Structure 1
Amino acid sequence: MKIKNNTVDIIAFSSSLICAVHCATIPLILSFSSLGSLHFLGNPIIEWTFIAFGIVFVLVSLWPSYKKTHFKLKPLLYALLGFSFILLGRLDLNEFWEVSNTVAGASLVSLAHYFNWKLLQTKENHKH
């Protein structure tokens, strides 16, 4: 069963936004003592899982769309820049560094999928 790239982009866009919200809010949530038992949400395994899914979505959606449909590098460049920020955040210099870079990176990856989705929509609308 083949999934359309539009569906994959919507899922990827949503998961990237969820990642950005996760990374921005978890430090705040964990700082409240009554919610300290939610420390599992800051687990590196969860974070690396989001990163792995993000890479899979790029390989399943952005790359084939570029190669077969719209031939525009913009989504791929935004995804590359986004993952660069995410990896910079993994350097763990301090919490602000990690959160700001990861949120910026996840937002850029989300934008990459949005741009890809728009390019695919434009391409579909111009088919004759």
Structure 2
Amino acid sequence: MNFKINWDAFGIATSLACAIHCALLPLFITSLPLFGYDIIENNWFEYGMIALAFVVGTYSLYHGRKKHHHSWMPMIFFTVGIILLLGKVIWHHWELWLLIPSVICIITAHYLNYRMCRSHNHAHSDDCNH
């Protein structure tokens, strides 16, 4: 069996997981601090999620740019998204205003990378992201 990972899909999934964490966790798991667990306002957890999105996204977008489409546009969107995510952790009072555009930028970056890989790799369209 030849198993290949679609890194753009994985990047989108990690971005969505981060958005779900930021949006839903405070609503449904507000009792965790009562038990000594605080992942809602835990900056280390936040930075860990951002680092995961950064590593996966950088690998995916670098591979797409270098091997397929040679465009910096997806990386620009991704960089803006990561900067906004870091800003969200630093400036808590702007959290929602920074989270929404950051997730949109990161997902847009992966979508652009995916589309550009497909359009510039007609002969070997299954090779993109592998």
TM over 0.5: yes
Query: Shift of the alpha carbon at 1:16?
Result: 0.4
CA distance in 2: counterparts of 1:18 and 1:121, whole angstroms: 25
TM-score (structure 2 length as normaliser): 0.76
- TM-score when scaled to structure 1? 0.77
The match for 2:81 is: 82
CA drift of 1:93 comes to 4.5
Residue 38 of structure 2 is matched in structure 1 by 40
Q: Which residue of 2 aligns with 1:127?
A: 123
Q: Aligned pair in 2 of structure 1 residues 48, 25: CA closer, same or farther (>3 Å)? A: same
After superposition, the CA RMSD in angstroms is 2.5
Instruction: Report the AA paired with residue 127 of structure 1.
Output: A
- 1:98: Cα distance to partner? 1.6
Question: How many aligned positions are there?
Answer: 119
Match of 1:58 in 2: 57
User: Is 2:99 the counterpart of 1:102?
Assistant: yes
**Cα distance in 2 between the residues matched to 1:41 and 1:118:** 35
| Structure 1 SS opposite 2:120 | helix
- In the TM superposition, residue 59 of structure 1 has moved relative to its aligned partner by 2.4
Q: Which runs of 5+ in 2 are unaligned?
A: 125-130
SS at match of 2:71: coil
- In structure 2, how many angstroms separate the alpha carbons of the residues matched to 1:51 and 1:103? 14
Per the TM alignment, residue 60 of structure 1 is displaced from its structure 2 partner at its CA by 1.2
Secondary structure, aligned partner of 1:40:
coil
Give ranges in structure 1 of 5+ residues lacking alignment.
Answer: none
Identity %: 27
Q: Residues 53 and 121 of structure 1: is their aligned pair in 2 closer, same or farther, counting only changes over 3 Å?
A: same
